[in-house]
Structure 1
Amino acid sequence: MASSAMQSDSDDDMDEFMDKFKTQRYNNAFSENNWEEEFNKVPMFMKSAPEEIDPKSYPELSCLQSIIHDEDRPPEEQARSLKDEGNAFFKEKNYQKAVLSYTAGLKKKCGDQELNTVLLTNRAASHFYLGNMRSALNDAAAAKKLKPDHLKALIRGAQCCIQLRNFSEAMQWCDEGLKVHPTDKKLLELRATADKHKRAAERDARKAKAKEKKLHGEKEALLAAIKDRGIKLQPVNSRQRGSDSEDEDEGSPAAIAQLSLDGLSSKEVTGAQVFLDEQGALQWPVLFLYPEHQQSDFISAFCENTCFIDHLAAMFEELPPWDADRKYLPKNLQLYFEDEETEQLYQVDPETSLLKALQHKRFFVKAGTPSFILLVNGSSFSKQFLVGKKVHKL
């Protein structure tokens, strides 16, 4: 009877509680507006860890963190907690914080080699996804040193080497791993990838070397052809220090510019460079200057055996728009080159070939591009331009 009475009282209390629950609000309940926010403060339901943990805002999480970082616990236990913390950050793809957690775990210097190996391997993975391939490789190597057969360290080391294009080293990592894990698919796949890239890199290196050798041979042949013709080269920002005397021996060191690849650098400036054509003739980039109008013309391939008049006739077949007086007719033009060392001019007969002009003992090809000055014979500008200048005929 007593039991039945107690049960009846309990039912009455429950009915009373439910009636109150229907009509009165629970003071500590989550509101409709903030229930998601409050849920996210509970560690079990958190979608991501907050950047900064305020004990007032996140009391439960703060408590858990204090447990993780409790310095009174054994180093192994602290390191393991920090490993778990790093793993949580890693799963969230927060690799920077994962690195900090794994690093803190390693600093505990616990005696558990297996745990330290995992910490190093996991930190290597975090560095890998951050793009820090050197750091990732160093961690993988340290993990392998602690435990030579650790599969994840071996795989990560090979992956890092491939990313760093150290394909031979990647294959070594795979070979070491396959000795203890001979059937591991990932190691086999990485080795095949490294071998493929290694062969491609070696093939590209051979092609590049062959191309370089060919280009060097062509350049040497070009220099030999220029030297055989007695043409003198002068690199950019360089002046010949020859004697002012025109009677100087043509074979003396002062009269012949040093032949070098630097003397053929015009391609960087003009987009063209002297070359030997299939018939063995030199084709030169040539610049024509018109000081009266501050204009210029450029011929990218002027055959050494061609006379100036042939190009002039083509260039002035139609008079340029800047020639308002229509006086730049081929028959009216005078051609000169300047000896920069002596500041003297040499007049060139338009019927002369380019080669003959280049072979003159006072002509120096600067930056791989011969240049010539064009004036209108008898014009007022021409007379003024030539005042005070010593002019020689070729």
Structure 2
Amino acid sequence: MASTEVQSDSDDGMDEFMDQFKTQRYKNAFTENNWEEEFGKVPMFMKSAPEEIDPQKYPELACIQSIIHDEDRSPVEQAKSLKDEGNAYFKEKKFTQAVVAYTEALKKKCGDQELNAVLFTNRAASHFYLGNMRSALNDAAAAIKIKPDHLKALIRGAQCCIELRKFVEAIQWCDKGLKVHPSDKKLQELRAAADKHKRAAERDDRKAKAKEKKLHGEKEALLTALKDRGIKLFQPVRPRSQSSDGEDEDERSSAALAELSLDGLSSQEVTGAQVFLDEQGVLHWPVLFLYPEHQQSDFISAFCENNCFRDHLTVMFGEELPPWDTDRKYHPQNLQLYFEDKEKETLYQIDPETSLSKTLKHKRFFVKAGTPSFLVLVKGSSFQKQFLTGNKVHVL
């Protein structure tokens, strides 16, 4: 009787449930818009595994995963399941997830050395494709430590060394592999490639050292030429409190000369040119002519130290005057040159017939930023008179 009542209740309940469809829609049913998405959550119909398994979103898959990772199984079985999971991720090129799966498998410490060697090798492959070459190399080494003749680990170790430009080590990995796999073509190809890269690297290193030696020699020769001529590079003036008692101008100039280095010749970064010493031992300087009246300038990339200023002024203001000279007064015979001693607030007038070398040797001339600069004014002009007012002027 009881059974009949249960059946009757069940039937009555089902009838009531089915009657609801006549008056209201089933809330949890698939729709035309979401049925593909919902089917995608069912393990049987999944095209690929999700990167993260949310039990709320993928309850069936989470249940299956919990069965796979059942702690009641032996460490070997768990490690194998995790290895298969890592392999599946690897085939889908989800290398980060593959690394995680292989790492979890290794944490099981299953004691199966053959399996552990495979796990290290597979994780090395995942790291390799992620670009983690050092981690990949470490895993390949761990696999070889367990199983010295593991071919895939030997190949992976050689590949990592080549990517890391450790060509000697790459050859060692290949030689170790070829002892046990003498006919393996991949190892043979890797060894040939590593040897080729090694010889190319050694050749490049020799060239770099030879170039460095040559540049060092040129710098030393240039420094010697500057010191022999007594040319001074601009040095920041030390505060008087830091100067030695009784230290005079000549002593400070000597100290600056003693500390002369190419660090002060930084013009190449700004102008693209730098002082150089030619094969005849002659210096060629980048030089700036400044025209303060018009806020203009001229740049000479290689002013031979033996040339006089007149030579360049004749070229720049000879047949054709610059367009900014609207008054047409910048003729060579009308121009006067000066260099400025900012520390002494003094201008030194230079004879245009003087050579650059003689001017640079003057005790109050300091080369700033590797580029000697000179002011050019029109003799007798109102601007010259105004410009020189308040400045001490020495005629050389």
The 5 A counterparts of 1:61-80 are 61-80=61-80
Shift in CA distance, 293/83, structure 1 to aligned 2, threshold 3 Å: same
Per-residue deviation at 1:338?
1.1
- Do the aligned partners of 2:227 and 2:257 also contact (CA within 8 Å) in 1? no
Q: Given the alignment of the two structures, is residue 207 of structure 1 paired with residue 207 of structure 2, yes or no? A: yes
C-alpha distance in 2 between matches for 1:259 and 1:56: 74
2:90 aligned residue: 90
The amino acid of 2:96's aligned partner reads Q
Deviates more, 1:294-303 or 1:38-47: 38-47
Would the aligned equivalents of 2:42 and 2:58 in 1 still touch at CA under 8 Å? yes
Q: Residue 184 of structure 2 corresponds to which residue in structure 1?
A: 184
Cα distance between partner residues in 2 of 1:126 and 1:175: 24
- Structure 2's unaligned 5+ residue stretches are 1-29
Distance in structure 2 (CA, Å) of the matches to 1:154 and 1:323: 76
Task: Quote the Cα distance in structure 1 between the aligned partners of 2:288 and 2:177.
Answer: 65
Q: What per-residue deviation string (whole Å, max 9, x for no partner) do you get for residues 48-76 of structure 1? A: 11344466875653443122111121111
AA in 1 matched with 2:67: I
Deviation, 1:183, is 1.9
Deviation at residue 385 of structure 1 after TM alignment: 1.4
Supply the AA of the counterpart residue of 2:164.
L
Write the mapping of 1:139-218 to structure 2, written as runs, cut at 5 A: 139-218=139-218
CA contact (8 A) 1:234 1:257 kept: no
Matches within 5 A, 1:299-338: 299-317=300-318, 318-338=320-340
Partner in structure 2 of residue 347 of structure 1: 349
Give the paired residue count. 361
Q: 1:234·1:258 contact (CA, 8 Å) conserved in 2? A: no
Residue 278 of structure 1, CA deviation: 3.6
* Structure-2 change in CA distance of 1:149 and 1:387 (3 Å): same
Number of the residue aligned with 1:263: 264
Task: Give 5+ residue unaligned stretches, structure 1.
Answer: 1-29
Distance 1:158 1:140 in 2: 9
Structure 1 distance, partners of 2:33, 2:205, is: 65
Name whichever of 35-44 and 382-391 sits farther off: 35-44
Specify the alignment match of 2:291 in structure 1.
Answer: 290
The CA deviation string for residues 126-151 of structure 1, in whole angstroms up to 9 with x for no partner, is 11111111111121122222222211
Go from structure 1 to structure 2 and tell me whether the alpha carbon gap of 1:354 and 1:39 turns closer, same or farther (over 3 Å shift): same
Q: In structure 2, what residue type is equivalent to 1:329? A: H
Q: 1:254 to 1:84 in 2, by over 3 A?
A: closer
Task: State the distance in 2 between where 1:35 and 1:294 align.
Answer: 76
Work out the CA distance in 2 between the residues paired with 1:255 and 1:263.
Answer: 11
1:161 maps to amino acid:
C
1:73–1:266: structure 2 CA closer, same or farther, 3 Å change rule?
A: same
Q: Secondary structure at the match of 2:314?
A: helix
Which residue does 2:275 correspond to in 1?
274
Give the corresponding residue for 1:20. none
Paired position in structure 2 for 1:48: 48
Q: Percent of counterpart pairs with the same letter?
A: 81
Q: Deviations over 1:7-47 (max 9, x none)?
A: xxxxxxxxxxxxxxxxxxxxxxx999999767755646643
- Give the alignment's Cα RMSD to 1 decimal: 2.8
Aligned to 1:393: 395
The aligned amino acid for 1:355 is S
Q: Quote how far apart the aligned CAs of 1:227 are.
A: 1.9
**Is the CA contact 1:307–1:350 (under 8 Å) kept in the aligned structure 2?**
yes
Question: How far is 1:330 from its partner?
Answer: 1.3
Q: What TM-score do the two structures reach when normalised by structure 1? A: 0.84
